[in-house]
Amino acid sequence: MNNKIKAYVAIIGTALILAPGLGVSASGVAPVTNTLYKNECSGCHFAYQPGLLPARSWTKLLNNLGDHFGENAEVSKEDLQALVTYATANAADTSRHKRSVKINKSIGKNETPLRITETGYIKHKHRELRTKHVKGNPQVKTLSRCEACHTRINDGSFREREIRIPGLGRWED
């Protein structure tokens, strides 16, 4: 083999090894890759992936961190700029990951939701959950605590077989 062909073989081989891994994340949402975002946004709750809301939602939410659901989550001006850049570049209306596309489609063009839990797609997917699963479950309490039930959420994965309801076990339809 000449070197050019060897290089092609190497590239195709690598692509084949990586492809299944890419497939996994492409079915969910893109995992968080930004260290600043991870640090600033995981202090009070799980660091929600930018792919869970459209860019206009992140812009609005991040520009109002001084009054963030009743808490002060303010960051420095420079950090704010970096957070907006990262979140909007990876938002649901930009990402090609399956869950991001579906969430985005479920939001009206004139709506700017600040909660993932208020988007049509996420509400619809959880319509079968009862009080005993969420509100009345001391280990969950609110649907906003995605990580309580989605055991592989840090990989951006929401597969049904990975769901465990704390204290109640696997989710069976």
Residues within the interface to ligand HEC (CB under 6 A): 40-41, 43-45, 48, 52, 61, 65, 68-69, 71, 73, 83, 99, 115-117, 122, 125-126, 128-129, 133-134, 140, 142-146, 148-150, 158-160, 163, 165, 171, 173
* Cβ distance to ligand HEC smaller for residue 6 or 111: 111
- Find the shortest distance in angstroms from Cβ 116 to ligand HEC: 4
CB of 114 to ligand HEC, least distance (A): 6
Give the separation between CA 116 and CA 1, rounded to whole angstroms.
53
User: Rounded to the nearest whole angstrom, what is the least distance from the CB of residue 53 to ligand HEC in the complex?
Assistant: 6
Between residues 4 and 130, which has the closer beta carbon with respect to ligand HEC? 130
**Count of C-beta atoms within a 10 Å radius of residue 2:** 6
**Beta carbon of residue 24, minimum distance to ligand HEC (angstroms, whole number):** 12
Phi, psi of 150 (to 5 degrees): -90, 95
- Name the residue nearer to ligand HEC (CB basis): 91 or 122: 122
Nearer to ligand HEC, 10 or 101 (CB): 101
Please report, for residues 4, 16, 22, 95, the alpha-carbon distance to residue 8 in angstroms, rounded to integers and kept in the order given.
6, 12, 20, 29
- Identity of the residue, 88 or 133, whose beta carbon is nearer to ligand HEC in the bound complex: 133
Alpha carbons within 13 A on the beta-carbon side of 54? 19
H or E stretch at 170? strand 169-170
Alpha helices in the chain (DSSP H): 3-27, 35-40, 55-62, 77-89, 98-105, 120-125
For residue 171, the 8-state DSSP code is -
Which token pair is 108? 């009206």
Q: How far is the CB of 33 from ligand HEC (least distance, A)?
A: 14
